[in-house]
Amino acid sequence: MSSAPIPDDAPRGRLRGRRIAVTGAASGIGRATALLFAQEGASLALLDRDPDGLKETAQETVGSAFEVDITAEDEVAAAAERAAVELGGIDGVVNAAGIMFRGLAADVPAADWRRVLEVNLTGTYLVTRSFLPWLTRETAASVVNIASGQGLLPNSPGYTAYAASKGGIVALTKALAAELAPRIRVNCIAPGMVDTAMADGHRDAAASTYALQRIADPTEIAASLLFLTSTDASYVTGSVLGVDGGRAFH
C-alpha cells in the first residue's frame, strides 16, 4: 500500500519577479503575508501606520517601507507612486490593514462607527484605487482583500460596525472584479478568528465554534493570500474564499 504524499512546504518561487504591495504589513496577517511572499520571491512594498513594526518587517523581507495611514487619500496616493518607482512597477496588492471594533449597536458612538468603516472599507478602496495605474493584464495583476466571517455570517452580537465594514469588503471585491476584468483579478478571503493582536482576549472562547476546533495561525491566512495572488488562481476573480476552519457550516 502506498503512503500519503508528504506535504512539501518548501518555497517554490511562486511570486518570483512579482512586485506586491501589502498593507497592514507591520503586524499579524499582513506581516505573515510579507514574510511568505518574500520567501516565494516577491519584491515588496510594505504599507502601515506603525513605524516600528513596519521597520521590522522591512528588515526581514528586504521590502520597501511606507509609513501611511490608509485613510489619508493623498498620503496613500503618494506612497503608491513612490512604491511603483522603487520596485519598477506593481503587479499585485494585498489589503491586510484593518481594525476591530466591539460594541453593541445601541451603544456604538458614531465617531467609532465612522472610523471602522473609514479604515476597513474606505481605506481598502483608497489603496486599491491608488495602485490601479500600475496593475496590468500583461503582468497578471491581482488584488486581494480581507473580509471576515463576520462579513458573511454576522451572527455574533457586538460586532455590528465591524461586520458592516467587512460585508462592504465582500461587495467592494465583487464590484471591482466586475469593473476591472479582464485586466485585474480581484478576490477576498473571509477568515475566522486568527491568532494575532486582534484576537487578544477572545482566543479561548472561540476555538470550539470552529469545526477544526482551533483558531487560525496567521501563516495559514498568508497561504490563502499567496494562492489568490499567484497565477495558481489565474481563473479566479470576484470570489470570496472562506478560510475559517469550518465556521461557516459548523
Ligand X SMILES: NC(=O)c1ccc[n+]([C@@H]2O[C@H](COP(=O)([O-])OP(=O)(O)OC[C@H]3O[C@@H](n4cnc5c(N)ncnc54)[C@H](O)[C@@H]3O)[C@@H](O)[C@H]2O)c1
Cα–Cα distance, 147 to 163 (Å, whole number): 9
Which residues in 1-40 contact ligand X (CB under 6 A)? 24, 26-30
CB-wise, 33 or 230, nearer to ligand X?
33
Q: Does 80 engage in binding with ligand X (CB under 6 A)?
A: no
**Who's near 183: CB < 8 A, 6+ residues apart?**
135, 136, 137, 141
Beta carbon of residue 104, minimum distance to ligand X (angstroms, whole number): 19
At its nearest, how many Å lie between ligand X and the CB of residue 197? 4
> Please, which residue, 20 or 183, has the CB nearer to ligand X?
20
Closest to ligand X by CB, 62 or 197: 197
Q: At what angle do helices 218-229 and 28-39 cross, to 10 degrees?
A: 50
Name which position in 168, 191, 242, 245 contacts ligand X (CB under 6 A): 191
β-bridge pairing 19-23 and 92-95: parallel
Of 93-101, 134-142, 176-184, 225-233, the segment contacting ligand X by CB under 6 A is 93-101
Angle CA(114)–CA(117)–CA(118) in degrees, nearest 5?
A: 80
Distance CA 41, CA 10 (A): 12
Nearer to ligand X, 35 or 146 (CB): 146
Judged by CB under 6 A, the residue of 20, 45, 80, 146 near ligand X is 146
Does 148 interact with ligand X (rule: CB under 6 A)? yes
Residue 96 touching ligand X (CB under 6 A): yes
Q: C-alpha distances in angstroms, 127 versus 68, 76, 163, 216?
A: 10, 6, 20, 26
196 binds ligand X (CB under 6 A): yes
CB of 70 to ligand X, least distance (A): 4
Q: Is 235 one of the catalytic residues? A: no
> Rounded to the nearest whole angstrom, what is the least distance from the CB of residue 141 to ligand X in the complex?
21
- Measured in whole angstroms, the distance separating CA 140 from the mean position of its chain's CA atoms is 18
CB atoms within 10 A of CB 109: 10
DSSP 8-state assignment for residue 207:
G
Using CB under 6 A, which of 63, 92, 98, 245 touches ligand X? 98
Q: Kindly state whether residue 77 participates in binding ligand X, applying the rule CB under 6 A.
A: no
DSSP state of 198: G
Strands of the 142-146 sheet, one edge to the other? 64-67, 43-48, 19-23, 92-95, 142-146, 185-191, 240-243
Cβ-Cβ contacts under 8 Å for 205 (sequence gap 6 or more)? none
Asked if residue 245 binds ligand X (CB under 6 A), the reply is no
Q: Toward ligand X, which CB reaches closer, 24 or 63?
A: 24
Positions touching ligand X (CB under 6 A) are 24, 26-30, 48-50, 53, 69-71, 96-99, 119, 123, 146, 148, 191, 193-194, 196-199
Catalytic residues: 162
